[in-house]
Amino acid sequence: MAIVDKVRPETIERMRGVIDFYMLRGILPVARSWPKKPKPPYTPLQAEAMAVFSIICGTMKRLSANMLKVWREGSEGKRSQWTDTYKGLAMKYWKKNRSISPIALNYEVVEEATKFKVKWDILEVFIDPDTPEKEYTIETELIKKDDILKAPKPIYFTLFDDDGQRLIAPYILFEEKP
């Protein structure tokens, strides 16, 4: 890997397939040798992992503007970008369960008389191309209003499955409206 002074689009196109230019942590232009894709024959597990990774990359464009903003804010000041965290959560879930994790496309905090709830728009995609994807909304109880005064600040929330494994959702800062 080498730090470069500046990267022009014509240089990127000319060196495509040989040298990969990208922004390290979003601020420092660097160049490296073009990543090598493993050559066939793949093991069945490798082929499935590549298919899952491809599916996950395709779901990123379906996130709402609200969710994108939260993912980006959550990666500020960290080494990894939000896209790396997103893909990492998906691949960890797949490695443990051999299925694709439900993906939070959007959220909304709803205030009720005694508590706060979160409405999540969820997308479920499957490795099998013949299985149709599902989109649905779930509600989770976030916190009771009485407990807000007792809870240490700041309060963050996200989604976990029944086994306690994190789903593909960012950590979201809970901000109480006055």
Question: Can you give the pLDDT at residue 165?
Answer: 94
Alpha helices in the chain (DSSP H): 9-14, 44-59, 65-75, 82-97, 145-150
Average pLDDT rounded to a whole number, residues 60-68: 96
Q: In what order do the strands lie in the sheet with 115-124?
A: 103-111, 115-124, 134-144
Q: For the segment 10-52, what is each residue's pLDDT rounded down to a tens digit?
A: 877 888 878 887 777 777 778 888 777 777 778 899 999 999 9
Q: For the segment 86-117, what is each residue's pLDDT rounded down to a tens digit?
A: 999 999 999 999 999 999 999 999 988 888 99
Q: Report how far residue 157's alpha carbon sits from residue 137's, in angstroms, rounded to the nearest whole number.
A: 17
Q: Is the pLDDT of residue 137 over 90?
A: yes
- What residue ranges do the domains of the chain occupy? 1-36, 44-174
Q: Is the pLDDT of residue 118 over 90?
A: yes
Report the 10 Å Cβ neighbour count for 170: 25
Residue 146 per-residue DSSP state: H
Q: Which residues of 96-111 are buried (b: 16+ CB within 10 A; e: fewer)?
A: eeeebbbbbbbbeeee
